[in-house]
Amino acid sequence: MSCMDCTRKGDCSSRYHTCDARFSWLVHCCGLLLFLNGGWILLFESGSVLRAVFMCANAYFKIWRKAKQDWIAYLERQKDVQRMKRFPEASMEMLKERGDVCAICTSEMTSARVTGCGHCFHRVCLRKWIYVKELCPICRTDLRL
Residues carrying an active site annotation:
102
Give 10-40 as a DSSP string: S---STT--TTGGGHHHHHHHHHHHHHHHHH
Q: Please answer whether residues 39 and 56 qualify as being in contact, where contact means their C-beta atoms are separated by less than 8 angstroms.
A: yes
- Closest by alpha carbon to 56, among 76, 36, 74? 36
Q: Please answer whether residues 118 and 112 qualify as being in contact, where contact means their C-beta atoms are separated by less than 8 angstroms.
A: no
52, containing H or E segment: helix 49-58
The 3-state DSSP class for residue 144 equals: coil
Q: What is the DSSP letter of 137?
A: T
Separation between Cα atoms, residue 66 and residue 82, nearest integer Å: 25
